[in-house]
């Protein structure tokens, strides 16, 4: 007989790969049991930000809300609304109340 006469260790190689797979499965199951930690905590005390809004003096105004905006005729009451798919101001003839 030539060579060492020893058989390759196939059984040991399969056992090691099986043990490695089992260890990975246990790690995944253990990691899944831990509660998820939110990255951004929920804002319970705040109202949700409107999806559609108009801008006035650097502030967001929700769709349907009114605000005093500056026009050529002076400060006027305007309503934030939608024209087709764009947000726009609907200016009224009512002047803004003086405070």
Give me the residue spans of the domains in the chain: 53-95
Segment 10-22 mean pLDDT: 72
Is residue 61 pLDDT above 70, yes or no? yes
pLDDT at 22 over 60: yes
Q: Are 54 and 88 within 8 A, CB to CB?
A: yes
Residues near 81 by beta carbon (within 8 Å), at least 6 away in sequence? 63, 64, 87, 88, 89, 90
pLDDT class of 67 with cuts at 50, 70, 90: very high
3-state helix vs strand vs coil in the chain, percent to 5: 25, 35, 40
Report how far residue 59's alpha carbon sits from residue 6's, in angstroms, rounded to the nearest whole number. Answer: 81
pLDDT average, residue stretch 17-43: 67
Average pLDDT over residues 14-34: 70
pTM beyond 0.75: no
pLDDT score of 39 more than 80? no
């Amino acid at each position: 007989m030539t060579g060492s006469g020893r058989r390759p260790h196939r059984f040991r190689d399969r056992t090691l790969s099986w043990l490695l797979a089992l260890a990975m499965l246990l790690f995944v199951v253990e990691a899944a049991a831990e509660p998820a930690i939110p990255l951004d905590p929920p804002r319970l005390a705040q109202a949700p930000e409107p999806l559609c809004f108009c801008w006035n003096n650097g502030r967001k105004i929700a769709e349907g809300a009114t605000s005093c905006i500056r026009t050529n005729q002076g400060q006027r009451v305007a309503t934030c609304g939608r024209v087709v798919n764009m947000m726009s101001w609907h200016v009224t003839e009512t002047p803004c109340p003086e405070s």
